[in-house]
Chain A
């Protein structure tokens, strides 16, 4: 099987087969990162541009490493070092980059739909590395890879997403992906941060964290996105932590073998207690490791590779 789509804009229209293809491919690439010489010539001559309009450490680094381990040339553009700060439009930047013949463009942008503009304008493959509050497909894929690795399967698991669901692109992509793979998904957070109509995405809503965690196999904590909120949406960080911080006692509400995930960067003491983040049930660093593998898989598949 091969991936027939030109772009990876989101998981909203990803089939089960496509998700499995990406995860299986990633599985086979994971080994490369454990070698002494962590590089294969697979994507030699392929140019990948990482176009980051928003600050990002892990996603940006992960994409760069993924490209380099496959011997692709990775070029990094971030807002502070490009014409973006000179007021050029996204469309003009895109066409300028196109004129330099890259093969794949990875874009992170604060606006939902920005990668779609590129996908429409350019012949190159576009990978959405996070667009506003919309989607972050590579994160959800690495999350699913991690769940599958730790639990053997995704189907039938109860996965609880906790935090600012409204402003979270990680939540949206995971809701699409996990429900498609047969997980039972519960979203939990302050009532005003649960987006309207979210039940329509096939998830259960619960604003009480204790209740939400009952029987959970996977607890996925989201970063509290204080920077994305308009005005005083929630009273205080203190109040938030009182209700929604994953502490050791809180984690007892979930299944004994539940795993704890977080897309990072974590706010210690706000949404997750240090003992939990560093505890044996935390798979946060496995997620990071799997991130490289998933991105290698996507670059490989978009460049025409077959499983």
Chain B
């Protein structure tokens, strides 16, 4: 079985490629990238499917390193099947899924369960992130080595920040010795307690309890200090504040092994949007003010922020169609992340190459998983993007089981046309315009 992608613009920063080339996939692997590969004559070489991709962009398969697939435990919000279907529709050939399931992914049997479900779904690749601490309680470390052997690629208590510096120190040291990254959700709970949105003028006007930016900054500073002192590394999840961007920038300058990600809602929205009291905008860390938003964009521009990840966090109407204070936190992003990120390219913040780094190359490198490249001989995980396709977000058309999307009705440009995993076209965008 061969697949020949003809005439597309191939953007692969891992090989420093950005030109119009043909790409041949054979037996699930990238076989050749070259100009004008011969098109087999019809009827003679029926084993080769040919797709004309003139004007389209071909990139290494996108990897969303921060998602919540909700299985096991909350299958009414999302399953590994629906979540990976949403991933494919959003152009992602792989996702990493956080550990705050029920039961928590804090032991190898849960990791194994997730991987078996993912294999059965046979859609996007799934990389489980296991918990740092048992039941995400911040008390006792999980069995990192056993979890790694079961297939966990990283560790995080995401959703529940590791409250004590002592436990975080031991986690970073142990994980580093096992070559596992630790992903830190930076929020000091003593400052976020009871908070519903970013603290500032808007929260004051809305009468909603605020979450100050320093809640994130203080913990980011702590984790960077631990990484520096112990000579280990840490990945800061969903950076939302100007000061945290600056902390990461400074740490990198000083050679500390810190990486960082942000999510599209942090570089697209500001807390002004919350004036609607829409619970789809309730998320931790909260959507910040314009200065923070601009600083996050600055972090993307200069590479301080390595990764764009959606923090896809599905919730049903049961958790969201309630009073703001009672609503669950999180929003879904797998099916809008690419277009919102392409807006950064459109606005000249980052190049398409930088986007591919942030959504494919870097997450693969940080997690230490295959992918992030179209190098010959590697698995053919490929995303084909129409960067000019305009469409309107319709949350009711999502593959995700949940509808907590604050971008519903928004006009976006850019869409995944084809998502190829291991050489198989797993998703193909309908030709009819949305």
Contact = CB atoms under 8 A, between A and B. Distances in A.
B277 to A, nearest CB: 3
A197 B201 contact: yes
Interface string A111-128: 111101100000000000
B121 interface: no
A113 B204 contact: no
- From B203, B204, B321, B326, residue with most partner A Cβ within 10 Å: B204
Given A134-B208, A196-B210, A113 B324 contact: yes
A231 interface: yes
B207 A131 contact: yes
Given A196-B199, A230-B194, A112 B207 contact: yes
Interface string B297-329: 000000000000000000000000111111000
Interface in B262-311: 276-277
B200 A169 contact: no
Contacts of B326: 111
Contacts of B430: none
A196 B207 contact: no
Nearest to A132: B207
Contact of A112 (B194, B212, B321, B325): B325
B337 to A, nearest CB: 27
Contacts of B207: 112, 131-135, 169, 172
Interface in B364-410: none
B206 interface: yes
Interface residues of B, number: 22
Nearest to A173: B207
Interface in A165-201: 169, 172, 195-198, 200-201
A91 interface: yes
Interface in B194-216: 194, 199-201, 203-210, 212
B199 A112 contact: no
Interface residues of A, number: 27
Nearest to B196: A112
B206 A111 contact: no
A89 B322 contact: yes
B399 to A, nearest CB: 26
For chain B, what secondary structure do more than half of its interface residues adopt (helix, strand, loop), or is it mixed? loop
A195 B206 contact: no
A174 B199 CA distance: 21
Given A196-B201, A201-B204, A132 B325 contact: yes
A117 B205 contact: no
Contacts of A116: 276-277
A12 interface: yes
A111 B325 contact: yes
B199 A134 contact: no
A158 interface: no
A241 interface: no
B430 to A, nearest CB: 33
B37 to A, nearest CB: 56
Interface string B134-165: 00000000000000000000000000000000
A98 B201 CA distance: 35
A295 interface: no
A109 interface: yes
Contacts of A273: none
A90 interface: yes
15 contacts: A91-B322, A112-B206, A113-B323, A113-B324, A117-B277, A132-B207, A134-B208, A172-B207, A195-B203, A195-B204, A196-B204, A196-B210, A198-B204, A200-B204, A230-B193
Interface of B: 193-194, 199-201, 203-210, 212, 276-277, 321-326
Given A89-B321, A111-B324, 11 more contacts: A12-B205, A90-B322, A111-B325, A112-B207, A112-B325, A113-B277, A116-B276, A117-B277, A117-B323, A172-B207, A198-B201
